[in-house]
Amino acid sequence: ISKAISGKQKKQMLKEEKLKKINKKLNEGVVSDQPISDPANFFLKFVNDSNLTVQQNKEKAIEPFQQPPFYKIDPEIYLNEQNCPNLPLRPPNPQNLSLEEYEKEEEKVFEQYFKKISPDMQQVATEYCQFELNKNVYREVWRVTERSDVVCLIVDARFPLAHCPVNFFNYYKANKKPIILLINKSDLVSPLQLTQHEDFFKHYFVKMKLKADVITYSAMTTPRMELLTKIVKMSRQLVKKYPPTQITIGFMGQPSVGKSKTMNLLVGHKVTKVRITAGCTKHLQTYFLEDFEDETNRSVLFCDCPGLVLPVKNSPRPLQILTGVFPTGRVREFYSVIRLLAENSPKSAEQIKNMVNQKMIMSRYDKEVQFDTPDQMLNALAYQLGFLNKSGPWAHKAGLWLFQRITEGGFHYEFGLDQINVDWWENKWKGGERKWDGSCMIKIGHAEEKQNEQLLNQQENGEENEEVEEK
């Protein structure tokens, strides 16, 4: 029931609305350069780009692709501790503190952590990639770390280093937890990519003096018992706990690396939701393993943790959209991501070009498409998919469609370690040919291409088929 208001209150409300309209007219044409923070009710909370940055990216979309790339991808950024601030640790001895004292100590920890990154939000938005601002996510990470005997860190095989910067490893080292690095989505990259990264991380763990090991797999194609046996046996060997002693294995990582799919595979049935959008898991979830040889029903416990996005200085923000860390539904422009992908992975640009039937677009829309700029590439894809609005091709919807498919794994890209130059690792695969059979690739646009070919054949033969048009 709405509350009644007096005539005086109504006059005041109308006066405020009128002032808002006047201020809006005065500010028309003025683009704010202040970063935009997510609302308090969002689970994944970031400091987003300002309106000015978004406008500049849109204006740059008409400029041709360039070499060297505008957004340079440097793997060594993620190995440099100066670029990767250490994660906050839980206040020591919480059992000796009252609730009020503990909350004050916790606030000090978070305040020091965020101020160490940058006291100025404008500086954060220009120098750092998107990173988690929700304190509850860090609290969930603390809980999973404390409960776990071994931590499984899941990364995406297409660019593993972007998902496990050095501050992740420093955090586990400070908590004295052994690590199993699970390189997921192995079916989406070339064998050279997998071999190169597996060898690199084994040398890297020796250099950091970490008790750790590496497993490569795919949550979509690897047999359940094969992966389960590797993880459980490796975990027990790392902590020297053998059946029937209970062991707790925690699963962590950034959003969209496949934690929930991996959990469903290991448990043997669906226990967690799986979505394209990042941030599906919001709280710690535990599952006992029931049907595994040499183990009792309560001897293996899995802990699933929400995805944590870490701060990395000088890491390109569009890269987080490409890797699925930033929710695609909240992206304000896709031109910068297309530029990063096309300039750093020319084969990916060719994939997009091959998806577009130029003959069909010319016949149906009387448009000659090109692929020299991000704007042209997204417009061509929009024509191919039939995404149109009043002003023409709907580039934003085409970008949303494309990068959701990339997150799903229906699009091939990979970034290797050829640029890394360190004295503790010899890159034997530098310059090697990256062949990928594409056997597990989702057929992007297959239905649309088939329909477009049918329409083109009808136009060439002078026949019309209303049923195909409706489909």
Residue with tokens 């750790």: 212
Residue whose token pair is 């690792």: 425
Domains of the chain: 75-304 (3.40.50.300), 317-429+436-470 (no CATH)
Percentage of residues of the chain with pLDDT beyond 70: 83
Identify the residue whose tokens are 């009710």. Answer: 41
Residue 284 has a pLDDT of 82
What is the C-alpha to C-alpha distance for residues 436 and 301, in angstroms, rounded to an integer?
Answer: 36
Answer yes or no: are the C-beta atoms of 180 and 215 closer than 8 Å: yes
Residue type, 56: Q
Q: CA 28, CA 280: separation in Å to the nearest integer?
A: 38
CA separation for the pair 408, 436 (Å, rounded): 17
| pLDDT at residue 22, as a whole number | 73
Three-class secondary structure of residue 213 per DSSP: strand
Residue showing tokens 């359940």: 224
Residues in the chain predicted with pLDDT less than 70, given as ranges, are 1-3, 23-44, 121-125, 273-281, 433, 436-471
Compute φ and ψ for 21, nearest 5 degrees: -65, -40
pLDDT at residue 465 in the model: 41
pLDDT the model gives residue 39: 63
Which pLDDT belongs to residue 280?
64
d(CA 223, CA 315): 35
Dig out the tokens for 412 from the structure.
Answer: 């091939």
- Pairwise CA distance, residues 389 & 31, whole Å: 25
**Token pair listed for 417:** 């370690």
Six-digit token string for 241: 């706990």
Q: What is the DSSP letter of 75?
A: G
Q: Which residues contact 210 (CB under 8 A, 6 or more apart)?
A: 169, 172, 173, 178, 179
> How far apart (Å, rounded) are the C-alpha atoms in residues 54 and 311?
21
Residue pair 91/109 in contact by the 8 Å Cβ criterion: yes
DSSP helix/strand/coil, 253: coil
CB–CB of 345/413 below 8 Å?
yes
Query: 213 pairs with which residues across the strands?
Result: 180
Q: How far apart are CA 348 and CA 1, in angstroms?
A: 57
Identity (one letter) of the amino acid at 82?
A: Q
**Tokens matching residue 96:** 């000796």
pLDDT at 40: 60
Q: What is the pLDDT of residues 321-374, one digit of tens each?
A: 999 888 888 888 999 999 999 999 888 889 899 999 999 999 999 989 999 999
Tokens of 63: 């400029």
Question: What's the pLDDT score for residue 447?
Answer: 36
SS3 content of the chain, % helix, strand, coil (to 5): 45, 10, 45
- The helix/strand/coil state of 226 is helix
Q: How far apart are CA 313 and CA 130, in angstroms?
A: 10
